[in-house]
Amino acid sequence: MAITVRSVKRPEHNFSERIYLVEVWKGLLITFRHLFVNLARHTVRALGVKSGQPGAVTIQYPEDPAVLGHRARTRHRLLKRQDGSPRCTACLLCETICPAKCIHITAEDSPDVMVEKRAKTFDIDLGLCIFCGYCAEACPVDAIHMDANKVELSSYDRKSLIWTISDMMGDTPKDPAATT
């Protein structure tokens, strides 16, 4: 198998492109055009005049929460069985498929004869999680969901971003912003 090598010719730049001054001004003109157009649209809307196009998409976060789609992948939650135990069978598929490697599960034997094993610990590091949803799709028993519509996941330290099995099942209320 022969490898062909092709050389790529770089385009020739004229003097104004080589000193970057003209290109910087072009970029600044685009930026200022967006600034003034959005400012004008916002002013027109603030005056109560209906306009065809909205201004910059800005939400006033604490007062007006973001509108999420019903399929948004947000905070993880573990589902429970009828008896209140976690539905997770510790098959480790979610830990294996996770591209960020933020899920850590320890398995133990289950006292229920119908279930071979269960999760002794189930920890997710939300500081590492990329919210891809692979863990929810890989779960064969549908134990983990990402549809809690909770996006307030900020924290003052990294330790409070590690969620345990009781945090994800809702047994202990977890307010990351409250921990110091």
pLDDT tens digit sequence for 28-46: 999 999 888 888 877 776 6
Q: How far is CA 166 from CA 38, 84, 121, in A?
A: 46, 11, 9
Q: What is the pLDDT of residue 175?
A: 58
Query: Which range is least confidently modeled, 13-27, 43-57, 64-78, 139-153?
Result: 43-57
What's the CATH code of the domain at 129? Answer: 3.30.70.3270
CB atoms within 10 A of CB 21: 10
Q: How far apart are CA 32 and CA 37, in angstroms?
A: 8
Using the 3D structure, point to which of 46, 61, 87 is the last residue of a domain.
46
Q: Which domain holds residue 99?
A: 77-178
End-to-end CA separation in angstroms for the chain: 62
Q: How far apart are CA 18 and CA 14, in angstroms?
A: 6
For the chain, the average pLDDT equals 84
Q: How far is CA 27 from CA 31, 33, 55, 56, 121, in A?
A: 6, 10, 20, 19, 52
* Same domain membership, residue 148 and residue 94: yes
Tell me which of 68 and 134 has the higher pLDDT: 134
* Same domain membership, residue 129 and residue 40: no
* Same domain membership, residue 20 and residue 99: no
pLDDT range class, residue 179, cuts 50, 70, 90: very low
Residue 180 has pLDDT above 50, yes or no: no
Mean pLDDT, rounded, for 22-30: 92
Residue 140 inside a domain? The answer is: yes
Residue 134 has pLDDT above 80, yes or no: yes
Q: What is the pLDDT of residue 50?
A: 67
Decide: helix, strand or coil at residue 160. helix
Q: What is the pLDDT of residue 98?
A: 95
Mean pLDDT, rounded, for 39-67: 72
* Same domain membership, residue 41 and residue 103: no
Query: Which range is least confidently modeled, 77-91, 102-116, 120-134, 159-173?
Result: 159-173
Q: How far apart are CA 166 and CA 122, in angstroms?
A: 9
Q: What is the pLDDT of residue 32?
A: 95
